[in-house]
Structure formats: C-alpha cells, structure tokens
Amino acid sequence: MPSESTPLIQQVPVAEHRERYPHRSLRRYCTIALTTVPLLTLLIILFCIAIGGDSDLFGEHESSRLDFGTKEVVGRTVPHAAWPESDGLSYKALKKILSETPNPDKAREWSKYYTAGPHLCGKNLSQAEWTRDKWLDFGVPQADIVSYEMYLNYPVDHRLALLDGDDVVFEATLEEDILDEDPTSGLPDRVPVFHGYSASGNVTAQYVFCNYGTYHDFEDLEKAGIDLKGKIALVKYGHVFRGLKVKRASEMGMIGVVMYGDPGDDGEMTEENGHKPYPDGPARNPSSVQRGSVEYLGIAVGDPTTIGYPSKPGVPRQPLEGKVPDIPSLPISYAEALPLLKALNGHGPNASAFNEYWQGGGLGYKGVQYSIGPTPPETRLHLMNEQDYVITPAWNVIGIINGSVSDEVVVLGNHRDAWIAGGAGDPNSGSAALNEVVRAFGIAVEKGWKPLRTIVFASWDGEEYGLLGSTEWVEEYLPWLSEATVAYVNVDGGARGPHFTASAAPLLNKAILEITGEVQSPNQTVKGQTVRDTWDGYISTMGSGSDFTAFQDFAGIPSIDLGFGAGPNDPVYHYHSNYDSFSWMDKFGDPGFEYHATMAKILALLTAKLADEPLVQFNATDYAVGLDKYLQSVKEKAKSSDMAALSKSTFHPLEKAIEQFQHFAKDFDASAIALSELASTQMSPPSLAQLYQGIRVANTKYKLLERQFLYAGGLDGRNWFKHVVFAPGRWTGYAGATYPGLVESIEDKNQTNVDRWVEIVEGTIKKATDLLIPG
C-alpha cells in the first residue's frame, strides 16, 4: 500500500493568486516598443491591443481595425522554431519521434500485460506500480502513485431464479462460459457478474419487461396502465446509463432490476444473420454479460460519499441517499434472459404495439414475443444480491514532464481498472496506447527535449465504478488545475474497432481535425489516406461516462475524448464482459494492433500540439458557433414543448450575447494567429520578447475561456455539475446535454426557471466575451 501522502503532486506549485491578465506589464512592453524600431513597433502595439493589452490609444473595442492586417495570415500554420524557451529538439524533430515511435507489437505486449489478471478498482496495486516503473524506464522524469480511499462494493453472493408458484423452473448460472480459446475467461479469480454501487437485497416478485428502462419508456408503461409497483423490471441495456434505469425503476415503485444485452442491438453481426458467436465468429457470445456501475451518474460522479472534495483518509463521509440505487440489480446474459422473456409471452400488451422506441428486439427468432407483462402472480423472479461495502485505497499513477512555462499544463489520461480480468478494449487498449505515447515522449526527453508547457500523464483507477480516480484527483488539485490547465485529453476504449470517434469541447475541434489529418489510417482504400480522410469529422458534445467529466463539467477545462469503435458491420464488442479479453482483441478487435499504434500517434501528436506550439491551438470562434447551434436546439425544444407562455423574446438576451461573443472571438482568433505568425518571422530578439509577451496574454485568455462557463451554484438538483453549456443529460448519463439548466427548466415547464437560466447563461457568455475584449 503506497503512502497516503502525494509527494509528487504536492511539489507542483499551486500558484498564488495573482493578476491573471498582465495588462500592466504588457502596457510597459508596448511603451518600450514605441521607442524602438518604428514599423515593427506599430504592428506590435496593434497586436498587443488586439489581444487585450492597452486600449487607451484607440478607445474600446477597436480590435476590428486590425482586420486589414490579419486576414491574410489567418489560417496559415504557425512555425514553431522561434519560441525562445523551447528546448532541445525542433518541433518537427519532436513530431517525427512521436509519429514514428508507437509500435503495434509493443502495444500488443502492454495489452497482454494489463489483461492478464483482475484489476478491479483497488484490487491490483502491482499494475499501478508496474505502470509507474514503466513510465520512469521510458524516460519520464517523475512518476508516482497518488492514492485515495474509495467507498465502493465488491460482490459476495447472488441468485436469480424463475419461480412457478414455489417451484424453480429456471435457475440462472450468472456465469459466462469458460472458453478454451480464451484463457482469462476461466481464471479461478475471475470477477463475478455484478453492478458497481448496487444495493444488496433479496426480493421475490412478478416482473415486467420495461424496454431500455429510459425515462420515456417508464412514461409509456405508465400511460399504458401497466402496474409496476412492487414488481421487478427486466430491461435491455442501451440508450441511457444503466444506473439511471435503476433510479427510474425505483422511483416507479419497483423493487429490483435485471438487465441484459439484446442481440437486436448488435447491428448486422448476429447469429440470426448467420454469423457464428465468439470465439468462432464475430457475433456476441450468448453467455456474455455486461457488468457496470449503477451510480446515478447524471446526479454526481466520483466517490458518492465525498461529492465535491477528495476521498482522503479521515474526511467526513456524506450519506448515499439519492446518489446510488436503493433497490438491487443484476446483469445477465441474453441466453439467461431468454426463459424470462418467454415466460412473459402472452401477458400484457406486446412491445410492438408501443411506439418506435419499443421495436426491434433480436430474440423473436428464438420465440420471444416481447410481451410486457406483468407476469401472472404465480410467475415470479427471486433476485438476491449481496454486496460488501468497504472503504479501500485506489491508485492513480501520475507522470510529469515539466515544461518551461510553469503555469500552462496539458493532461493526458486513461483509466487502468476494468470490470474483468481482460478489459482489452475498455480501458486497456487506451492504456497500451498511452504507454506508447509515454515511451515516445520519453525518447524525446532523453534527446534533451523539454516541452514548452508541462505535460501530465495519468493512469486512473476506479473509473468503472463512477470516474473515481480522476474525479477525486481533480477535486484535490482544483486550485492548481483551474489556474494552470490548458486542456485534458482522454482515451478510454482506444481501439475496439476501426471507426474513429471524438467528442470534444469546441475549443479543441480545430486541433483534432488537424492532427487526424497528419496520421495515416491503418485501413486505406486509397494509398496515403489519413485518419481524417476516413472519418466524417463529426465531433460529439461532451457528456459523461469517462474520466473527462470532472475536468470538463466541474473544473471547466476544455476536454477531448478519442477512440476507435466498432460499427454495425464489425465484430461485436463484448463490453464489460469476460470476452473483452486479449484473445478477442488479438483475433477480432484489432488483429495486428495497428489501431492501437494509430491511436498512440494521434494522442502523442495532439498532446504535443497543445503543449508545444507557442500559441495555444484553440479556436474561440468555434465555441461561439457551438453556442449558437446549441441554442437553436433549445429553441426547437421550447417550440415542441407545450409551454405556451414561452414568448419569442425569451431567448433574445442569449442570441445577443452569443452574437457579441462571436464578434470578439473572431477578432481574438485572428489577432492571436497574426501575432504568432509575426513572431515566427521576426528574428530580432528584443522585438520577439515583446511579441511573445503578447502571445502569452493570448494563451492565458484561451486557457481561461472555458472556465468562464462555470456557474458556482451548479445545475438544479445536481450542483456538483458547474458547467452551464455541457453536462450529461439528467436522464441519459452518457449522452451530452447542452444548456442543461435551460433544457431541464423547459422539460419541467417552469417559466420562472427558464428565465433564471437565461440570465445565468447570459452572464457566463458575457464574462467570456469580456475576457476576449481587448483592454
């Protein structure tokens, strides 16, 4: 067990409160500049003003005057060479190392290591130590284990049986088949099927098929007059985070939940379509079970007993109520759901008689009618779930390469813990890729390179239970992270199929679109195709479901989450099942491990771009475009709601604020690019120093821009979430909601609250605008 202190991180200085926008010193530079080279000086003055230096000379809001001077340089890339503090290697030489080092065979080796044995949160210290030692070996100057004391559960016992009166007609094994072809499926210490944070309980009751268990599904059941009280819910996985299914079932008066993954959600790769199941083919193995957390992710994340502060030894623990389920739940395979579904046949209405969301179950060919139930009184389920709740240490690994600019930091993270011994896709395809990234940066460091900004690598523990490791770490280092962090880059399932996916804060869209254009696709239909060429460029908004959540939604740090996933025609990914194993990955998921290596290259180059380009590679205009687009969808929502009272002018203040923001964002981006372009072409050191001072001001503003969208009061009923633009949906958990405060007030038909949220959001947009306004 590692020491409870965190020596490494405590060495990182938490900058004292200081003037964030050094107008005064910038003004001094501009003044000095006036007395030197006349033409250059004039340009410098103009740019200093545009970026937010001294506006006295021209009065307020004069940045538009710069347009004539900046248009022609906007869009060109910024050469790296001239930054005075960059060290050791040219940016070009660095990029060469980062794109040539990641290696599929190495990634395969790391994958094999991580997936050799169980690594449930808090259960495998040796993997944390191994990771730390590897990173040090690779040449990262500092790496250490940072531990927390997590409240969580481990499985003790369970039972699921179908009863006819007092007779047991079906006893579920609650086991996945042991496969000769897949050694970790048969480990004696393999992890049982269970739900993280599920309630212990022992119930016997009739049951009801509740579709995906979404909020709307339960509304539909209520409308159809189905009696849910005192019953057990049988639900399919999918559409919303599993914990929210349990939450809603409990609110409907149900007393237990059984979940299974229906092959109707497996795309084309089904047995019904003639595909053999794993291990003989790409279809889902019928005995596979999806484990997972049932924490109420839409409400809060992290250790549920320490919401808002880190789980250090001895801290006060909060009550669990409202954050985790109060009724038991169990995950099962579709093979074991079959007898339960069939016992419902002919009882209650058919799902097919409901709306479109209820169509498409994939077990019709096995004789399932998808009748909703409830089952007759004598047909009952016995559901027993026994969990041991403990407070146990969990271990993040944190590696640091100090940069020249101490208060600008880029964090790259992946979680290490898995629900099963495997986890070859989730998360250890990301872990294998991360190791290749670290190895590549280590080579650069050994060649004498020092980044401009500090780079932090993180291997989180406890993501699976509820983003525990990352959330507690962000809560502990919040002052330093808010002060210094430029961006957070996340990879979870880095390679589970061939399709590139990204979700990001809009500030980062530009960087990922550019970087994917520099990395070769592992699957080229035309020679030379990059990942960008084989990707549609769609970037989704940030929701939750991985370790970026605390960074983005709590700390206001622009974040991005990357992966290669499976499409409907790819081998079925056995999410949170024993078959998310090395054997599956080696044969079906990424044979050859080329996607692992490609992910490593993308992550390495993206991190370098964010950490080592003189100008922070953000685009504020993209944020403004996003804000406008999200507002359109709120207006659509308002229109389709029956809130007659919502007048046309309700959203007018927001439209105006966004327009203003967009105006200044455009000027700011253009000026920042022009400034760095100028810096890259000026060779005279005194002028350069002045230009860099201007770039530094621009970088500080880019760094702090996302923070302006935090609202200290938090979202209604879940005030840990501070971001007013992005949050997980209240009833989705994974999927991102935009302007959640507004949308939820509309859903609640509360005009007063709509007006309140218009004002709150408007306030944040104005703060963001003020940050970008020169002077």
Ligand X SMILES: *[C@@H]1O[C@H](CO)[C@@H](O)[C@H](O)[C@H]1NC(C)=O
649 is catalytic: yes
Pick between residue 74 and residue 443 the one whose CB is nearest to ligand X. Answer: 74
Binding to ligand X by residue 167, rule CB under 6 A?
no
The residues pairing with 397 across neighbouring beta strands, listed in sequence order, are 145, 459
- If one asks whether residue 117 binds ligand X (CB under 6 A), the answer comes out as yes
C-alpha span between 762 and 658 (Å, rounded):
8
202 scored as a contact of ligand X (CB under 6 A):
yes
# of chain residues touching ligand X (CB under 6 A) = 39
Q: With binding defined as CB under 6 A, does residue 111 bind ligand X?
A: no
Binding residues for ligand X restricted to 69-98, rule: CB under 6 A: 74-75
Q: Is 136 exposed, middle or buried (0-12, 13-18, 19+ CB in 10 A)?
A: middle
Q: Per the residue annotation, which of 80, 99, 723, 762 is the catalytic one?
A: 723
Token pair belonging to 73: 């340089």
158, 159, 160, 164: CA torsion to nearest 10: -160
Evaluate whether 151 touches 311 at the Cβ level (below 8 Å): yes
Distance (Å, rounded) from C-alpha 464 to C-alpha 294? 10
Q: Is 623 in the site for ligand X (CB under 6 A)?
A: no
Q: Which 596-615 residues touch ligand X, going by CB under 6 A?
A: none
3-state secondary structure at position 57: coil
Stretch of residues binding ligand X (CB under 6 A), selected from 54-62, 108-116, 250-258, 539-547: 108-116
Work out how close the CB of 622 gets to ligand X at its nearest, in angstroms, rounded to a whole number: 4
Using the rule CB under 6 A, give the single segment among 119-127, 537-545, 554-562, 596-604 that binds ligand X. 119-127
d(CA 87, CA 151): 44
> Which residue's CB is nearer to ligand X, number 12 or number 438?
12
If the CB atoms of residues 33 and 398 are measured against ligand X, the closer one turns out to be: 398
Identify the CA nearest to 724 among candidates 630, 602, 597, 603: 630
Q: In what order do the strands lie in the sheet with 207-209?
A: 207-209, 232-236, 256-260, 329-332
Among 29, 110, 113, 212, the residue binding ligand X under the rule CB under 6 A is 113
Going 544 to 542 to 701 to 81, the CA torsion angle's sign is: positive
Q: Which of these is catalytic: 3, 126, 640, 649?
A: 649
Amino acid 555 reads A
Window contacting ligand X (CB under 6 A); options: 53-61, 268-276, 468-476, 751-759: 751-759
Length of the chain: 775
d(CA 46, CA 53): 9
Q: How far is the CB of 78 from ligand X (least distance, A)?
A: 10
* Contact positions with ligand X (CB under 6 A) in 505-524: 510, 523
Question: DSSP characters for 521-573?
Answer: -SS-SSTT-BTTTTS---EEPP-SSSTHHIIIIIT---EEEEEEE--TTSPPP
- Which residues on adjacent β-strands are paired with residue 499? 565
- DSSP, res 365: G
Annotation says 109 is catalytic: no
Q: Residue from 37, 478, 625, 760 that binds ligand X (CB under 6 A)?
A: 625
Interaction between residue 185 and ligand X (CB under 6 A): no
494 and 430 in contact (C-beta within 8 Å)? Answer: yes
For residues 362 to 401, the per-residue mask of contacts with ligand X, x marking binding by CB under 6 A and - elsewhere, is -------x--------------x-----------------
Q: Which stretch binds ligand X (CB under 6 A): 80-88, 282-290, 349-357, 630-638?
A: 349-357
Report if residue 417 touches ligand X, rule: CB under 6 A.
no
Rg (CA), the chain: 27
CA-CA distance, 689 to 187, in Å (whole number)? 61
Is 272 marked active-site? no
Q: Least distance (Å) from ligand X to the CB of residue 625?
A: 5
| 435 binds ligand X per the rule CB under 6 A | no
By CB under 6 A, which span of 95-103, 242-250, 346-354, 408-416 interacts with ligand X?
A: 346-354
Residues in 444-463 at the binding interface with ligand X, rule: CB under 6 A: none
Residue from 402, 530, 641, 719 touching ligand X (CB under 6 A): that is: 402
- From residue 378, alpha-carbon distances to 87, 119, 164, 224, 375 in Å are 76, 42, 5, 23, 8
Task: Write the DSSP assignment of 251-284 as a string of letters.
Answer: HTT--EEEEE--GGGSTT--TTTTPPBTTTSSBP
Of 336, 463, 475, 677, catalytic: 463
* Residue range at the interface with ligand X (CB under 6 A); choices 6-14, 265-273, 320-328, 480-488: 6-14
Asked whether position 528 contacts ligand X by CB under 6 A, the answer is: no
Provide the binding-site residues for ligand X, judged by CB under 6 A. Answer: 11-13, 74-75, 113-114, 116-119, 123-124, 126-127, 141-142, 202, 204, 349-350, 353, 369, 384, 402, 498, 510, 523, 525, 619, 621-622, 625, 669, 673, 750, 752-753, 756
Which residues belong to the active site? 463, 649, 723
